[in-house]
Amino acid sequence: MPDIRTRQVNKGTIKSLDKVATSADRMRATYTKTKERTESMRESDDNSPASYATERISNAMDTGSRESISVSEKATRVLVSNAKVKIKERRISNGYSATAEASVKTAEETATIKTRGFANKRQMTRRISNAKATNATRQYANDMLVLTAEERMRKAAKEVAKETKNAVRVSAKAIKVAIASTESLVKAITAGGWITIIAIVVCCLFGAAFYMFGDESSGNYTPVSAQVEAYSAVIGEYADKYGIGEYAELIKAVMMQESGGKGKDPMQASESGYNKKYPRKPGSIRDPEYSISCGVQKVVASLKASKCKSPLDMSRIRLALQGYNFGNDYISWAIKRDGGYTVENALIFSDQQAKKHGWTFYGDKQYPAHVLRYYPYGSYNYGVGNGVITKVATQQLGNKGGHKFWSWYGFNGRVEWCACFVSWCANQCGYIKSGTITKFAAVQSGISWFKSKGQWQRPGYRPKSGDIIFFDWDGDNNADHVGIVKSCNGRTITTIEGNSGDICRRRTYTVGGAVIYGYGVPKY
C-alpha cells in the first residue's frame, strides 16, 4: 500500500493514524521477543520428552500470536484506507452532503470492523446476535453523522488503537504465563514420563483456551502475587536441591497461602522441625531464604509421606498439603482411616486435635482448597465441593436452643439464631476466612452480601446442595429466616435449618414455593 500523505490534515489526526499504523508492528515485536525467550528455554536434546512438550507449547503460542497480529493488521489496513478516502474527499468537495455520505460509509465500515475484526468468534457469539450487530452498525453511523469529519476520523482511530492495545495486552499476558510455566512443566514432564506429557499438554491447551476465551468469573485459578514470583529463582534452587524441582509451582502456591510472599518468613516455617537456626515459635525466622529452605524440606516430607507420584497426582497432593498444615501425623491417620484425604476427615482431625490440646481451633480445615486455587495444574480439580457445609450442618441436627451458635457469634444471651447457625457452619468449613460466605447474624445482612457479590437467585431457581436459602413467612417481601440447602431433586428441596422451632432440623419445600424469598449461591 502506498504511503498516505497527511500534511494538510490536523496534527491530531496524523498522530492517531500513526499510532494505529504502528500497532501491528508492536504486536509483532512482542511476539518475536516472546518466541525468542521460549526458544532459549528448550533443551539441546530435540528428541527428549521435555523438548517435545516445550515445542508443542511454543507452536501453540506461535499460532495464537500470528492470528492476533493478523487481526490487528487487517483492522489497521482497512482503517487507514478509509482515512485516505476521507482525506481525498475533503480535498475535492466543500459540500456537507458529500462529506456526510462518505461519513456514513466510513462509519458503517468502521463499525463492521469493530464487530467482525476485533472480537474473536466466541466473544461475538456471547455478546451479540447478527441482528444486534446490524442495529449497532446503524446506530454507530447515526452517531458519527453529528461529528465533524476531523472528529470522526480521530474517534475511529482512537477506537481501533484502544482495541488493538487491549488485544496486545491479553495476548502478551497469556504468553507471559505460558513462558513462566514452561520450566516447571519441563521438569514435571521429565519426572512423569509420557502419561504426564499427554496430561499436561491437554491441561495447558484447555487452560490457554479458557484464559483467552472463557469467562473470568467462572475460573478458579488465581495467579500468585508479584512478591511470590520474586522468589521463583530461590524456590527453584531449593526444590532442585531437595529433589522436587517439578513441584516448584506447588511450593509457590503454598507460599502464597502462607504469606503472599511477604515478611521475613514467607513459608511460615518457624515452628517447623527443619528450623534449627531460630527459636521454634511463630515469626522467629528472619531470613527469607532460610524460610524457603525449611519450607521446601517440609513439603518434601509431606509429599513422600503421601506417596505422591507427580505434580498432577491431585488426590495425594491434597493429602500432602493438609499434612503440611496439620503435621504428618494427619497423613498416616487419614490413610489408615479413609485411604487418604477427604474434606470430612480433615474436619474431624482438626476438631479432635483442638479438643486434645484445649484450643478453640486447630489448623486450617480447608488448607488444600486454599492452596490449590493458586496452583495452575490443579485449579480445576481440587474437589472441595458444595456439599461440605451440609455435612457439618447434618452433624448439628437435634441441637436445641442454639447456645453453641449464638454464643460463638458473640451474643451474651439468646437471639433468633438461624443466621448464627449458618455462619457457624460456614466458619467450621473455613468459608468465612476464605470469603466464600460472609459472617452474619441478621438475615437481611446475608441477603445484602450475596446480592453485592452477584451471587443471588430468585425464588424460582432450582437450588444445589450448599446453597443458602432465605424465607419470607409473612409474604411481606421481608425475609425473616435462613437455612442451608441439603439437596434438591428438581421438585422438592430438603434443607437443614437452625432455630426451626428453636431446634436444628430438616425441612422440605416445593421448588418455587410461596415462602421462599431467594437464594445466596456461594462460589465454593
CATH of the domain at 355: 1.10.530.10
235 is a domain residue = yes
pLDDT digits (tens, 9 = 90+) for 129-169: 444 444 544 544 444 444 444 454 555 455 545 544 544 44
Number of CB atoms found within 10 A of residue 372's CB = 26
5 is a domain residue = no
Q: First vs last Cα of the chain: how many Å apart? A: 55
Residues 441 and 394 in one domain: yes
* pLDDT at res. 185: 53
517 vs 494: CA distance, rounded Å: 16
Q: What is the CA radius of gyration of the chain?
A: 29
Window from 3-7, 175-179, 266-270, 274-278 with minimum mean pLDDT: 3-7
348 vs 365: CA distance, rounded Å: 9
* Nearest residue to 453 via CA among 438, 467, 466: 438
Q: Residue 512 above 80 pLDDT?
A: yes
* Nearest residue to 296 via CA among 350, 247, 257, 341: 247
Residues 127 and 242 in one domain: no
DSSP 8-state code for residue 90? H
Name the percent of the chain lying above pLDDT 70: 56
User: What mean pLDDT is reported for the chain?
Assistant: 74
79 is a domain residue = yes
* Nearest residue to 70 via CA among 80, 82, 78, 81: 78
Region 292-311 average pLDDT:
95
382 is a domain residue = no
Number of CB atoms found within 10 A of residue 233's CB = 8
Q: At 356, list the grid cell.
A: 486434645
pLDDT band at 194 (very low <50, low <70, confident <90, very high): low
315 is a domain residue = yes
Window from 115-124, 367-376, 380-389, 462-471 with minimum mean pLDDT: 115-124
* pLDDT at res. 329: 95
Quote the number of domains for the chain.
Answer: 3
Residues 291 and 241 in one domain: yes
Of residues 306 and 125, more confidence is placed in 306
* pLDDT at res. 82: 56
Residues 399 and 458 in one domain: yes
Residues 231 and 208 in one domain: no
Q: Residue 343 above 70 pLDDT?
A: yes
Residues 174 and 311 in one domain: no
* pLDDT at res. 222: 85
Contacts of 151 by beta carbon, 8 Å cutoff, 6+ apart: none
Find cell 482448597 and name the residue.
Answer: 369
The CATH number that applies at residue 487 is 3.90.1720.60
Find the DSSP H helices in 413-461. 418-428, 431-434, 443-452
Residues 231 and 204 in one domain: no
pLDDT digits (tens, 9 = 90+) for 55-106: 554 555 555 545 544 544 555 455 445 555 554 555 444 444 444 445 445 5
Q: Which of 213, 246, 269 is at the close of a domain? A: 213
Window from 24-33, 228-237, 268-277, 318-327 with minimum mean pLDDT: 24-33
375 vs 30: CA distance, rounded Å: 27
Contacts of 231 by beta carbon, 8 Å cutoff, 6+ apart: 252, 255, 261, 266, 288, 292
pLDDT digits (tens, 9 = 90+) for 429-473: 778 877 889 999 999 999 999 999 999 999 999 999 999 999 999
Name the percent of the chain lying above pLDDT 90: 47
Residues 503 and 449 in one domain: yes
pLDDT digits (tens, 9 = 90+) for 20-60: 445 445 555 554 554 455 444 444 444 444 444 445 545 55
Residues 344 and 283 in one domain: yes
pLDDT digits (tens, 9 = 90+) for 225-242: 999 999 999 999 999 999
* pLDDT at res. 432: 86
pLDDT band at 386 (very low <50, low <70, confident <90, very high): low
Residues 395 and 458 in one domain: yes
Q: Residue 12 above 80 pLDDT?
A: no
* pLDDT at res. 38: 47
* pLDDT at res. 122: 47
* pLDDT at res. 415: 97
Element (H, E) at 469: strand 468-471
The pairing of strands 505-510 and 516-520 is unpaired
Residues 94 and 125 in one domain: yes
Region 216-221 average pLDDT:
46
Three-class SS of residue 510? Answer: strand
380 is a domain residue = no
* pLDDT at res. 96: 45
pTM: 0.43
Q: Which of 187, 213, 239 is at the close of a domain? A: 213
Residue at 276: amino acid letter: K
Region 399-422 average pLDDT:
96
Q: Residue 248 above 50 pLDDT?
A: yes
Window from 4-13, 230-239, 390-399 with minimum mean pLDDT: 4-13
275 is a domain residue = yes
pLDDT digits (tens, 9 = 90+) for 281-291: 999 999 999 99
* pLDDT at res. 434: 73
Region 172-184 average pLDDT:
49
Number of CB atoms found within 10 A of residue 439's CB = 19
Q: Residue 320 above 70 pLDDT?
A: yes
Q: Residue 19 above 50 pLDDT?
A: no
Residues 368 and 467 in one domain: no
32 is a domain residue = yes
Q: Which of 213, 238, 255 is at the close of a domain? A: 213
447 vs 331: CA distance, rounded Å: 39
223 vs 225: CA distance, rounded Å: 7
* pLDDT at res. 404: 93
Domain span holding position 153: 11-213
